[in-house]
Amino acid sequence: MKRTLLIVLLAAACVVPACRKATETAPPAKNMAIPAPTPLPVYPEVIGVKECDAYIFKVRNCLQSKVPTAAQIPLQIALEKGISEWKKTAAFPDKIPELAPACQLAEQASKRAMERFNCQW
């Protein structure tokens, strides 16, 4: 149960940065060069749970295709933390059934948050 709660909290952490208003970011200072965006790497790994793998694919696709560069980094970090925890949980066969509902909850929360970037799934 504690692990499930942790997974849900990590999934929610993915949503929090996406809920910020775009106006909360400071505009770039004048006469400062803005570095070219670094493309996010494509990750082929999967958790092995259909709901989790689908969620990860959808979020990564949205991040890479629709989310502005400045917003990608915190969302990517939160997603990677969630993936790390899901992998740890998946290492215990008796805990795998807990992953599907946790990933479904993460997907529902992220779906609402990512709508502001015109991500739909």
Most confident of 5-9, 18-22, 39-43, 109-113: 109-113
Under a CB-based contact definition with an 8 Å cutoff, are residues 106 and 82 in contact? yes
Q: Is the pLDDT of residue 12 over 50?
A: no
Residue 113 to residue 94: CA distance in whole angstroms: 31
Q: Is 19 left (phi over 0), alpha (psi -120 to 50) or beta?
A: alpha
pLDDT, tens digit, 9 for 90 and up, residues 66-92: 999 989 999 999 999 999 999 999 999
In this structure, what DSSP letter does residue 25 have?
Answer: S
10 pLDDT tier (thresholds 50, 70, 90):
very low
Mean predicted confidence (pLDDT) in 22-51: 63
Residue 96 pLDDT? 94
Which tokens belong to 79?
């997603």
The string of pLDDT tens digits covering residues 26-40 is: 555 566 666 666 555
What local confidence, expressed as pLDDT, does residue 120 receive? 82
Name the more confident of 15 and 71. Answer: 71
9 φ, ψ to 5°?
Answer: -65, -40
